[in-house]
């Protein structure tokens, strides 16, 4: 599933294509999944931003209230500059060069809403700070996480303590911080290590264009693979040696998610 680095890479690639363009219409065949898209017709894209794993196209029309076109890529969604067999939504632009949203498994969502009004998107409404922004405070993160009774990886995946961290980058950040994914009651020093690891991992992954896994479901809009998968230390490396200590990487299921870790570098500590 595309996470913050993949969504941010997508944003950076499609921004020059969309910025300042008027949307003539959005063409699709699933009104229950792609909601109120007719409201985007005739409006101009003035900004493209990202919140966690969501893309936000800010739309204006003189004399009308502003709107937002929200896109969640789901598991296999992504934008392309050319149509594919899995094209689900076509953005027809005034430039005459359409932009295509493809989604093989159809878990992605597109909706036009009032700015900041996300009643059908509770994850977006309750999302924590952006990990690469000034709003992601080490002190606040320590206060939110240290001593808590929740297992750290599922807590990260909830998007509440920090936005945009999914399965790949939770595993990679926890490995970098030497914390077991099921650890509870983290000490402040551990949380500070995790804070640093999340920021460093996300920054490196964005610079590399995200991670393209063996299923090939994520590619950049121009069809180029991401490059961060070659730098994974534990994710999708079960049975291979830890890049730090050489111990065999283990995969387990934690809160219904495949989870990779090094049993030597990331020991589970009993803290009652």
- Which SS3 state, helix, strand or coil, does residue 58 take? strand
CA distance 251 to 134: 34
**Is 15 in the active site?**
no
**Is 53 in the active site?**
yes
Q: Which of 13, 106, 251, 257 is catalytic?
A: 257
**Is 8 in the active site?**
no
Is residue 108 within 8 Å of residue 149, measured between CB atoms?
no
CA distance 141 to 266: 21
**Surface-to-core class of residue 117, CB atoms within 10 Å of its CB (0-12 exposed, 13-18 middle, 19+ buried):** exposed
Dihedral angle of Cα 143, 122, 53, 2, to the nearest 10 degrees: 110
CA distance 48 to 59: 9
**Surface-to-core class of residue 194, CB atoms within 10 Å of its CB (0-12 exposed, 13-18 middle, 19+ buried):** buried
Structure token digits, residue 121: 């998107």
Tell how far CA 253 is from the center of its chain: 21
Is residue 95 within 8 Å of residue 130, measured between CB atoms?
no
Q: Which of 3, 6, 68, 172 is catalytic?
A: 3
**Is 2 in the active site?**
yes
* 70 DSSP β-pair partners: 56, 111
Give the pairing of strands 109-113 and 34-35.
parallel
Q: Which of 11, 43, 53, 80 is catalytic?
A: 53
CA distance 134 to 221: 28
Residues with catalytic function? 2-3, 53, 257
């Amino acid at each position: 599933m595309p996470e913050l680095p993949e969504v941010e890479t997508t944003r950076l690639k499609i921004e020059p294509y969309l910025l300042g363009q008027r949307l003539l219409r959005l063409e699709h065949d699933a009104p229950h999944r792609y909601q109120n898209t007719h409201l985007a017709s005739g409006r101009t894209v003035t900004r493209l931003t990202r919140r966690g794993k969501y893309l936000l196209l800010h739309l204006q029309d003189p004399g009308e209230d502003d709107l937002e076109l929200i896109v969640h890529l789901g598991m296999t969604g992504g934008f392309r500059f050319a149509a594919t067999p899995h094209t689900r939504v076509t953005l027809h632009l005034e430039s005459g060069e359409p932009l295509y949203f493809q989604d093989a498994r159809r878990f992605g969502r597109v909706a036009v809403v009032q700015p900041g009004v996300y009643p059908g998107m509770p994850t977006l409404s309750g999302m924590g700070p952006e990990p690469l922004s000034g709003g992601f405070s080490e002190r606040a993160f320590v206060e939110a996480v240290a001593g808590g009774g929740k297992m750290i990886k599922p807590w990260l995946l909830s998007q509440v303590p920090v936005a945009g961290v999914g399965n790949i980058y939770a595993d990679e950040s926890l490995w970098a911080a030497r914390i077991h994914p099921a650890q509870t009651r983290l000490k402040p020093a551990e949380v500070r290590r995790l804070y640093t690891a999340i920021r460093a991992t996300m920054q490196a992954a964005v610079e590399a264009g995200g991670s393209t896994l063996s299923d090939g479901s994520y590619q950049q809009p121009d069809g180029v693979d991401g490059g961060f998968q070659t730098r994974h230390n534990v994710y999708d490396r079960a049975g291979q040696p830890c890049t730090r200590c050489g111990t065999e990487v283990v995969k387990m299921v934690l809160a219904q998610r495949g989870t990779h870790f090094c049993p030597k570098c990331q020991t589970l500590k009993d803290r009652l």
